[in-house]
Amino acid sequence: GTLEPLTPLRREMAEQAAAVLGAALGRLRVYARAEESVRNFHRLQAQVIQTEKLASLGQIVAGVVHELNNPLTSIIAYSDYLTKKLTKDAGSNLPEDAERVRRIGEAAERILKFTRDLVAYARPTGDARGPVQIEEVIERALVFCEHEFADGRVEVEQDFIEPLPTIVGIPGQLTQVFVNLFTNAAHAMGQRGGTLRVNIRPTDSGASLRIDVSDTGDGIPAEAMPQIFEPFFTTKTDGRGTGLGLSIVRGILDAHGGTIQVSSALGQGTSFTLTLPVG
C-alpha cells in the first residue's frame, strides 16, 4: 500500500525523537573523546613518572660512578706496577701470577671506561654538535646492551670498513638511537636468541652513511607497521616497552637530517635502515 502522510502530531513526535537521538549521539561522541583524553592523560602521567624515575636514577648512577673511580684507579695503578715488577723479575718468561695481575688491571680499566661512558651518555647534551665517528657510537651502544645479549643468546656481527667518514651530530643522542634499536632486537629474539647484524656503508653518492641494523627475531605484524614510530605504540605485551623508543629514534634522526625505514617478516626478523649525512 501507499504510505500515509504524517499528521502534524506524528511529525512533531518524529522531530522530537530525532532531536533526542541526535543529542544522545552527540553526548556519546563527547564521552568517547573524554575517555580517550583520560587514557592519553594516564599514559602521559605514567611516562612523566618514568622520566622522573630515570632522572633520579641518573643522579644515583653519577654518585656511584664517582665513588667507584678512586678505587678503580688505584687497582689499575697497582696492578700495572705489579705486572711490570713480576715481568722484570721473571725476565721474558711471564709467570702465571703476573698474567693474572695483568687481567685484573685490564678488567678494572674496562669497568672504569664503562662508568665514564655511562655518565657521558646520561649527562644532558643540549645542542652541542661536533664530528662523530659512527663506529665508536655503535661500539658504545653495544657495550651498554651487553646484558641484553647475556649467556651467548645473541651473536653480534659487525660489517664495516674503517676508516668511515665522520658525521656531524650529538654523540649521546646517536648512542640512544642504537641502544633502543639493539634492545628492541634482543627482545624480539627472546630466550631462543639469534643474530644481530650491523652493516655500515657510504651511500652511492658518498653524501651519507647507510647503517643497517637487522635481527632474526619474531618480526613485526603487518598491521602494526604503520604505527611503530607513533608515540606510546608498542607490540611488547610483557611490560618492557613504553612505546616511546622508536618515536624517539625517529625524532633524533630527523634532528640530524637523517632517515629511518623498516622492513619485517613474521618469524624471520626485522631490519632497520638508517641514513645520516656525512659531515
Supply the pLDDT for residue 93.
57
Supply the pLDDT for residue 70.
81
**Above 80 in pLDDT, residue 208?**
yes
Supply the pLDDT for residue 166.
93
Residue with cell 583520560: 38
**Above 60 in pLDDT, residue 14?**
yes
In this structure, of 47-51, 128-132, 180-184, the range with the lowest mean pLDDT score is 47-51
Average pLDDT of the chain? Answer: 80
Supply the pLDDT for residue 225.
82
Distance between start and end Cα atoms, the chain? 82
pLDDT-based confidence at residue 58 (cuts at 50, 70, 90): low
pLDDT-based confidence at residue 263 (cuts at 50, 70, 90): very high
Cell numbers that stand for 130 in this block: 661536533
**Average pLDDT score over residue span 58-86:** 79
- Within the chain, strands assigned E span 130-132, 154-159, 167-169, 194-202, 208-215, 259-265, 269-277
Q: Which of 7-11, 195-199, 217-221, 253-257 has the highest mean pLDDT?
A: 195-199
**Above 80 in pLDDT, residue 266?**
yes
Higher pLDDT, 74 or 119: 74
Supply the pLDDT for residue 31.
78
d(CA 168, CA 232): 29
Supply the pLDDT for residue 209.
94
Higher pLDDT, 34 or 171: 171
Supply the pLDDT for residue 232.
61
**Above 80 in pLDDT, residue 158?**
yes
Residue environment code for 246-263, b if the CB has 16+ CB neighbours within 10 A, otherwise e: bbbbbebbeebebebeee
Confirm if 266 and 221 have CB atoms less than 8 A apart: yes
d(CA 172, CA 177): 9
Using N-to-C axis directions, what is the helix angle for 245-255 and 171-189, rounded to 10°?
150
d(CA 229, CA 204): 27
Pair type for strands 194-202 and 154-159: parallel
CA distances for 26 relative to 12, 13, 23, 32, 39, angstroms? 21, 20, 5, 10, 20
Question: What DSSP state is assigned to residue 278?
Answer: B
Residue with cell 504524517: 6
**Above 60 in pLDDT, residue 238?**
no
Residue environment code for 64-89, b if the CB has 16+ CB neighbours within 10 A, otherwise e: ebeebeeebeebbeebbebbeebbee
- pTM for this predicted structure: 0.61
Count of beta carbons in the 10 Å neighbourhood of residue 141: 22
Supply the pLDDT for residue 49.
61
**CA dihedral sign of residues 62, 64, 69, 70:** positive
In this structure, of 64-78, 111-125, 244-258, the range with the lowest mean pLDDT score is 111-125
For Cα atoms 206, 207, 210, give the angle at the middle one, nearest 5 degrees. 75
Supply the pLDDT for residue 236.
59
Cell numbers that stand for 268 in this block: 624471520
CA distances for 158 relative to 154, 155, 174, 194, 198, angstroms? 13, 10, 17, 14, 5
